[in-house]
């Protein structure tokens, strides 16, 4: 009886936050061989500190994606079963297990960047030895990914490579759609048909909103410090003492930035009286500062009264806060719907 041997992995697509395993390949039902591939991955993304500096690198934890605003570290494990189908029944011929680590660092002032990855020497049994691998990477939303790797090398020794990213010029005030990298591995072995497996990076986004093109990981919260606006900061601290913890980096829920001037004005008008109280007017504190900010999806009356506050301040302090927020947004590329915390 002639025995067929095939390497097929099926289409296993693994998102940045979850694991998926494809249905059994049809080849298994036709007295051929198959290569079954499984990927270890966390079901939840792990974030670093909300106030991590843009240049700080995320650190790797096995089977998790760890990110901050400008850095991602992804460490996955891949298991390969080399299976031969004999008279309709699977027979395990060998296995291969290896790790892949990715370190991606984006740039605040450039839409071109790179990442490095390393592949461990595979632990193999029997027919798992001698597997060859090719690696491809793709992206979208105006960004192209190019892999540098010794394609076709075996998994019998450790290896490394890199991915270069280039993005088409972005007009001022424009924000590219979110994108991610899809990594695709193609395995080959003499006498077997090829097999593939794929998984994704964390999501990133490039923009030129403020006239400086750059890219960030939008789902990773950052933090804006209002310590230099003492009256505003005191008002927010008072709210937190009363139990209002939106935007609190110490256990609260993040706020989410909003780019919508019409709604911003509605939010402010919904909570700020037209005229200050008499005592505030006498003190020169005639400018109403609302928290959460009007330029957030939690602003206005979107939260219960116990979760929001207003503080009357001098106009100079309110203007200073506006400058602080603009500088922070520019540095961290904070755009619509991005999560963030407020440090006071």
pLDDT of residue 44: 36
Give residue 202's pLDDT.
94
Query: How far from 257 is each of 53, 226, 274, 329, CA to CA, in Å?
Result: 19, 16, 24, 10
- Confirm whether pTM is higher than 0.95: no
Q: pLDDT tens digits, residue range 241-287?
A: 999 999 999 999 999 999 999 999 999 999 999 999 999 999 999 99
For the stretch 132-149, pLDDT in tens is 999 999 999 999 999 999
pLDDT bucket at 65, cuts 50 / 70 / 90: confident
The pLDDT value given to residue 33: 62
Distance CA 325, CA 264 (A): 15
Is 75 within 8 Å of 64 (Cβ atoms)? yes
């Amino acid at each position: 009886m002639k025995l067929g041997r095939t390497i097929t992995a099926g289409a296993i697509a693994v998102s940045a936050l979850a694991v998926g395993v494809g249905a059994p390949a049809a080849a298994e039902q036709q007295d051929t061989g198959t290569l079954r591939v499984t990927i270890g991955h966390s079901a939840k993304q792990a974030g670093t500190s909300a106030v991590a500096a843009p240049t700080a690198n995320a650190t790797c934890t096995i089977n998790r994606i760890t990110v901050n605003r400008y850095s991602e570290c992804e460490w996955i494990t891949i298991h390969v079963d080399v299976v031969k189908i004999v008279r309709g029944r699977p027979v395990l011929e060998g296995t291969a297990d290896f790790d892949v680590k990715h370190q991606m660092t984006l740039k605040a002032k450039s839409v071109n960047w790179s990442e490095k990855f390393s592949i461990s020497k595979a632990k193999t049994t029997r027919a798992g030895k001698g597997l060859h691998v090719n690696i491809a990477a793709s992206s979208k939303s105006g960004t192209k990914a190019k892999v540098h790797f010794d394609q076709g090398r075996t998994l019998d020794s450790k290896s490394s490579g890199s991915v270069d990213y280039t993005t088409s010029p972005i007009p001022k005030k424009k924000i590219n759609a979110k994108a991610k990298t899809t990594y695709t591995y193609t395995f080959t072995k003499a006498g077997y048909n090829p097999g593939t497996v794929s998984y994704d990076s964390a999501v990133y986004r490039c923009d030129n909103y403020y006239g400086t093109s750059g890219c960030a990981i939008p789902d990773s919260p950052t933090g804006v410090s209002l310590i230099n606006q003492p009256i505003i900061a005191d008002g927010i601290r008072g709210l937190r003492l009363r139990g209002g913890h939106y935007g609190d980096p110490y256990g609260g829920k993040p706020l989410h930035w909003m780019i919508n001037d019409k709604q911003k004005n509605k939010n402010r008008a919904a909570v700020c009286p037209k005229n200050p109280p008499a005592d505030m007017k006498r003190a020169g504190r005639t400018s109403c500062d609302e928290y959460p900010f009007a330029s957030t999806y939690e602003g206005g009356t979107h939260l219960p009264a116990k979760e929001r506050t207003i503080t009357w301040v001098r106009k100079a302090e309110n203007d200073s806060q506006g400058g602080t927020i603009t500088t922070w947004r520019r540095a961290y590329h904070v755009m619509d719907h991005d999560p963030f915390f407020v440090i006071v």
